[in-house]
Chain A
Amino acid sequence: MAYPYRHPKETRILSEAFGDPSARTLEGWKKRGGYKALEAALNMTPEEVVGVIKESGLRGRGGAGFPTGVKWSFFKDDGKPHYFLINADESEPGAFKDRELMRWTPHQVIEGAMIGAHAIRAQHVYIYIRGEFFEPAQILARAIEECYAAGIAGKNVMGTGRTIDVTLHLGAGAYICGEETALMNSLEGRRGQPRIKPPYPAVSGAFGQPTNINNVETVCAVPHIVNNGGAWYKTFGTEKSPGTKLFNVSGHVVRRGNFEFPLGFSLKELIYDVCGGIRDGRKLKAVIPGGSSVPILSADEIDIALDYESVAAAGTMLGTASIIVMDDATCMVKQVRRMVDFYAHESCGQCTPCREGTAWLAKILRRIETGQGSEADLDALLDIGKNMTGTTICVLSDSAAAPTASSIKKFRDEYLSHIRDGVCNARAVAAGANA
């Protein structure tokens, strides 16, 4: 199977060039129509650009789904320096869509970011990229160099007299720096800790100035919208969730990878058709639809449409659409413990409920996993999780509590087998079921 695998049902817009190394160069990107959108946008007023994005209904792809056009409309001509930040930290376990966008289409990222910078009257774009992304960072750095050499970035952008600098900034390996205000602290050379809001970034963000921050995938959609119009973009997806989205699927499916579909695509179809079903002939047990920090869906809950509203109605979140599929031999206690371990390791340590709570949850889960737990531990886990929810500056704490609570609710029997029998029965159950 050649990578990237392309399924006939896909609607490839952002990921059209995946697998074609020639798209990485400026020349190759221009051959594919690159930087026409930037040129067109520079001939529009910032308000006009914002208008097009508003019309498209594009929503933030970093997880929260906030309307991008509305976000950009906060910026007025106030004489202050504005900053346009790209969140390329992609640190959510299970997420790998931005990495691929940067690896295959670095110019798509730069073009979208520069259009955004024009729209919010920013003179500087910072791409904050996760420190472990060596290859994407190298590719992006090369693309930025090409842009400067070709007069696309820097002073006098494409001969318009506008200045838009593009700077690539590598993180140092902290999950929390994917949180927008922690990212800004890190960018400024401070400890990567989320800031208290208000003030919101649009008022006081990076370097204390009005700052806009968008996910990589969000800005990648922007050139296409500028080229084809907001109405065109709305022809994809649902009314409230327009456009296409990269679904990055990992776990126990036959075909893992990025698949681009209009929002509203069926999760069931995605798993069983596009991804070829569960590998090794096993059965599906659970799906995490939006990256590790959202509540878990059990196998009987997956008949849903993948758009922001439908997934929320199912009691979880679309998040980054990073879909983690688990088969019936998976030990849920171990999986949840692994995730919570991650959050305990990545908690910045500012807020007490998170600093102490994440590590505490992890210790209890480990105890249960190794057969040392009690049934009272389950109530404690739920109550500790409750105390960690909504009591902290950012939502890392909530993110550790959510999968813990949903897994206890949906897979209580499995916890109980660890507690009562001291062993995991998942494989045995699966073997029986598959026999």
Chain B
Amino acid sequence: MSEVKTVNCTIDGKPVSVPEGTRIIEAAEQVGLGIAHYCYHPSLSAPAMCRMCLVEVQGVPKLQPACVTPVMEGNVILTESDKAREARQGTLEFYLVNHPLDCPVCDAAGECKLQDFVHAEGRKHGRSLEPKRVLGQDDFGGDVLYDGDRCIMCTRCVRFMREIAGNDVLGVVQRGNRSVIDTFFEQGLDDDLWAGNIVDICPVGALLSKDFLHKARAWDLDGAPSICANCSQGCNIRIDTRDNLVQRFKPRLNPDVNSYWMCDYGRFRYEWMNHGDRIEAPLVRDAAGKLAASGWSQAINALLAAVEATAAGKPGVTVVASPYHATEDAGLAARTAAVIGGSTKLVYRSPMAATEEPCPGFPKLARRRELSANGRALEIMGFERVGDDAGKGGLNSAKVLIVVGDELGDLPENFGADAELFIYIGHTLTAAARNAHFVLPATTYGEMEGTFVNFEGRVQRFWPALQPPPLARPAWQILGVLLAGLGDGDAPASAGSAFLKLGELHEAFSGLSYDMLGSRGALINERVRIGATGAEVR
């Protein structure tokens, strides 16, 4: 292989060295200069048609599109010269000739690149006095609504559907300023798993999510980095909330996992996080056999006493963990079972799809068969999957039962009623959960810090996006305090230290820490990954 040559140039006076063939827009990014653009997207082909990224290359008579022009040795590139700025200002004015300027009712307002660039560099007053062209809206099918009047014809959506979704159903119809994006005949986006991404990459409000339509203004949203829990791919996402309710999921760039994309299956399964019927306080079964609300210290003291009493006989514990809960939660539950002693049984239930649905243009990404986030972590820690492909059945009562997160919604009303000790740590008080001796309110993964391990063994962090009910605590914290009471070291003070504790217990996690996971996650230790502990990819 021949070595790739390095070329040197300056961009707005900053020296840049890049491999030969690097495009100006990418070179500029390396020195922190963002060149305004619409049609260019790093993961799509570049048609150079929005004409926003025109820059001056000294010695070249015409302005050059930075998105397709490679850097040449010795180039002096100016993005802020009068010529370049005037061209941008002129082009921005063209964009507004037919744009309806209906920002007050547009979902994209606040996160719209047309708004941003016009605000930054556009003319103070538009000169167009002409009546605007009106195209109206079109339902593209699936979750997508198209507003032709707002469309700036960057064709990112057309190229995404062709190049990434592998489903060439969008095209430009007509020409000139009558151009509109349309679906072919009646075949819309209805059955496409990836179409939701075109709303994300639309630089303006031309493509709208029906799910998010008029739900919230962009500036009222709070976003937190998280992981999609709806399959074992572990797509990096941002959870956008308003008034402590999830409004939408947006994919977050991770080149190793999901690039800029996520599937519609995952994207629209967030409503459960907004459910209000939560367990609000620790419930402890009293002498009369009734569940009564209590404070945390009372509950923990009672729990510790009950566990110590039971543990004396080394009864053997069955742990049911949810694959939608953090690794730290399940790990400390398993540890609790080990400390109590006897023969433990660790199980989890997860729905499973019939097929895997890979993303044609980015094959690393797929809607995996396993429709939950953390099955791989549970397998690593010795849990066994039970139940059917709907994530139901497969559970039997046991002498000592610890349930973390699994709602037990499908189980008979008397499930666990015969258990000697039944500890339920979760969010919802289902019929079966009412049989527990201790019902302890836990946070969902959206309300806490923690990690998931995806199908290939990548440990990825998530951060709290929502405020939990006041008395809910992360399951790892509840179990950590219990373990400390049982003499198993100090209670971890943070999710990070709970994770370190797992590192002491499981070789897969040893040597890993939150700091090391960074924004792209880290693979579990190699030896374990390729060993017999479940290299099977689901």
Tell me whether A352 and B48 are in contact (CB under 8 A).
no
Q: Which residues of B contact A356 (CB under 8 A)?
A: 94-95, 97-98, 177
- Minimum CB–CB distance from A201 to chain B (whole Å) comes to 17
Q: Which residues of A contact B156 (CB under 8 A)?
A: none
Chain A residue with the shortest CB-CB distance to B65: A196
Q: Which residues of chain B from 58 to 111 have a CB within 8 Å of any chain A CB?
A: 62-63, 65, 68, 86-87, 90-91, 93-95, 97-98
State whether A380 and B130 are in contact (beta carbons under 8 Å apart), knowing that A352-B49, A391-B54 are contacts in the complex.
no
Q: Which residues of A contact B275 (CB under 8 A)?
A: none
A347 adjacent to chain B (CB < 8 Å): yes
- Minimum CB–CB distance from A219 to chain B (whole Å) comes to 29
Partner of A353, one of B51, B86, B127, B131: B51
Tell me whether A387 and B91 are in contact (CB under 8 A).
yes
Q: Which residues of chain B from 20 to 54 have a CB within 8 Å of any chain A CB?
A: 47-52, 54
- List the one stretch of A81-89, A95-103, A161-169, A359-367 in contact with chain B: A359-367
Partner of B128, one of A347, A360, A390: A360
State whether A347 and B130 are in contact (beta carbons under 8 Å apart), knowing that A353-B51, A353-B90 are contacts in the complex.
no
- Minimum CB–CB distance from A170 to chain B (whole Å) comes to 18
Tell me whether A367 and B130 are in contact (CB under 8 A).
yes
Q: How many residues of B contact A (CB 8 A)?
A: 36
CA–CA, A350 to B48, complex, Å? 9
Tell me whether A346 and B94 are in contact (CB under 8 A).
no
- Minimum CB–CB distance from A173 to chain B (whole Å) comes to 11
Tell me whether B127 and A349 are in contact (CB under 8 A).
no
Tell me whether A344 and B90 are in contact (CB under 8 A).
no
CA–CA, A363 to B179, complex, Å? 17
Tell me whether B127 and A363 are in contact (CB under 8 A).
no
Tell me whether A352 and B65 are in contact (CB under 8 A).
no
Q: Which of A350, A353, A359, A367 has the most CB of B within 10 A?
A: A350
Q: Which of B129, B131, B153, B172 has the most CB of A within 10 A?
A: B129
Chain A residue with the shortest CB-CB distance to B48: A196
CA–CA, A384 to B97, complex, Å? 11
Tell me whether B54 and A350 are in contact (CB under 8 A).
no
Q: Which residues of A contact B54 (CB under 8 A)?
A: 391
B174 adjacent to chain A (CB < 8 Å): yes
Q: Which residues of chain B from 136 to 175 have a CB within 8 Å of any chain A CB?
A: 152-153, 171-172, 174-175
Tell me whether B174 and A349 are in contact (CB under 8 A).
yes
Tell me whether B68 and A360 are in contact (CB under 8 A).
no
CA–CA, A390 to B84, complex, Å? 12
Tell me whether B175 and A351 are in contact (CB under 8 A).
no
Partner of A393, one of B48, B63, B175: B48
Query: 11 extra interchain contacts, Cβ-Cβ under 8 A, other than A350-B47, A352-B49, A352-B95?
Result: A191-B172, A344-B176, A352-B91, A355-B176, A356-B95, A360-B130, A387-B91, A390-B62, A391-B54, A392-B51, A393-B49
30 contacts between A and B (CB under 8 A): A191-B171, A191-B172, A196-B48, A196-B68, A344-B177, A345-B176, A346-B176, A347-B175, A347-B177, A348-B176, A349-B177, A351-B50, A352-B51, A352-B52, A352-B94, A352-B152, A352-B153, A353-B51, A353-B91, A355-B94, A355-B176, A358-B176, A360-B97, A363-B131, A386-B90, A390-B63, A391-B54, A391-B87, A393-B48, A393-B49
Binding site for A on B (CB under 8 A): 47-52, 54, 62-63, 65, 68, 86-87, 90-91, 93-95, 97-98, 127-131, 133, 152-153, 171-172, 174-179
Binding site for B on A (CB under 8 A): 174, 176, 191, 196, 344-353, 355-360, 363-364, 367, 380, 383-384, 386-387, 390-393
Question: What 7 A-B pairs come out closest when comparing CB atoms?
Answer: A387-B90, A349-B179, A356-B94, A347-B176, A363-B130, A359-B177, A350-B49
